[in-house]
Amino acid sequence: MLDKQHTLFFCTTCASVWQNGKRVGISEGEQLLQRLQELSQGWELRGKFSIQAVECMSACNRSCVIAFVAEGKSTYLFGDLPVDGCASAVLECASQYYTKSDGLLPWSERPEPLKKGISAKIPPLNKWAKLNISCC
């Protein structure tokens, strides 16, 4: 699984300020992304773990929101992340996710800011295919 592309998605509209139906200034999601991009300059997984901005991840009641995604691994969605002091914890958790063949991130192993903010853990697509569940 280490040869597969890993992606860290960041919601850029999280904790935005709105006036007259338009975003004003830089959102907290964008601030967290900027801090992480600065920190990731010397990150050992740079180039192996893509960092992508997403305009909205539809978890507005849990901002700031990120997700770890890779083929064949569980997808994790985290929210309620603090802008200050969280970027290094996100990179640490991304490194853990990268090294796990199944992508599982036990609560006890996650950095502190990512212990409380879990919104979802979605099994890998290949796990769903094995169940042979059909609908509709």
68-118 confidence digits (pLDDT tens): 999 999 999 999 898 888 999 999 999 999 999 899 999 999 999 899 889
Q: What is the pLDDT at residue 121?
A: 93
| pLDDT for res 106 | 94
User: Higher confidence at residue 126 or residue 41?
Assistant: 41
More confident residue, 46 or 2: 46
Q: Which of 80, 94, 97 is nearest to 36 (CA)?
A: 94
Q: How far apart are CA 76 and CA 60, in angstroms?
A: 16
CB contact at 8 A, 95 and 44 = yes
Residues 6+ apart with CB under 8 A from 24: 16, 17, 18
- CA dihedral angle for residue 54, residue 60, residue 61, residue 65, rounded to 10 degrees: 10
Name the nearest CA neighbour of 52 among 38, 63, 67, 62.
Answer: 67
Please give the CATH number for the structural domain made up of 6-131.
Answer: 3.40.30.10
User: Strand runs (DSSP E) across the chain, as ranges?
Assistant: 6-11, 17-19, 22-24, 49-54, 66-70, 75-78, 118-122
Sorted by where each begins, the domain ranges of the chain are 6-131
**Is the pLDDT reported for residue 6 higher than 90?**
yes
Percentage above 90 pLDDT, the chain: 32
Q: Is the pLDDT of residue 43 over 70?
A: yes
Model-wide pTM > 0.75 = yes
Give the per-residue pLDDT at 66: 93
